């Protein structure tokens, strides 16, 4: 996003959050973003929520294979191994 010399507003700040978290903002953009955050409680909350969103997605962990699926894969493996390519 193109930033003008003046301060950024909330509506612009929310569009910069991912670039900020990814570390892809230019030094100037990052300074403006952080200056806005220091002065804006709501955008601070917004950033905390985006961080939480990333963290919560990381909590989806692989489920165990059911015994049926496990048996199916074992059977597949044995078939594949016994067949020529």
Cβ 28 to another protein shortest distance, Å: 18
Binding mask 26-65 for another protein (x = CB under 8 A): ----------------xx-xx-xxx-xxxxxxxxxxxxxx
Residues in the chain: 85
User: Does the footprint of another protein cover residue 67 (CB under 8 A)?
Assistant: no
72 Cβ partners below 8 Å, 6+ apart? none
Cβ 49 to another protein shortest distance, Å: 5
Q: How far apart are CA 44 and CA 58, in angstroms?
A: 22
What is the separation of C-alpha 85 from the centre of its chain, rounded to a whole number of angstroms?
Answer: 40
Cβ 31 to another protein shortest distance, Å: 19
């Amino acid at each position: 996003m193109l930033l003008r010399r003046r301060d950024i507003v909330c509506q612009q700040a929310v569009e910069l959050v991912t670039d900020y978290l990814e570390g892809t903002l230019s030094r100037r953009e990052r300074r403006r973003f952080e200056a806005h955050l220091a002065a804006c409680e709501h955008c601070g909350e917004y950033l905390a929520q985006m961080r939480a969103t990333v963290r919560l997605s990381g909590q989806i962990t692989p489920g165990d294979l059911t015994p049926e699926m496990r048996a199916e894969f074992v059977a597949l493996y044995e078939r594949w191994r016994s067949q020529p390519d």
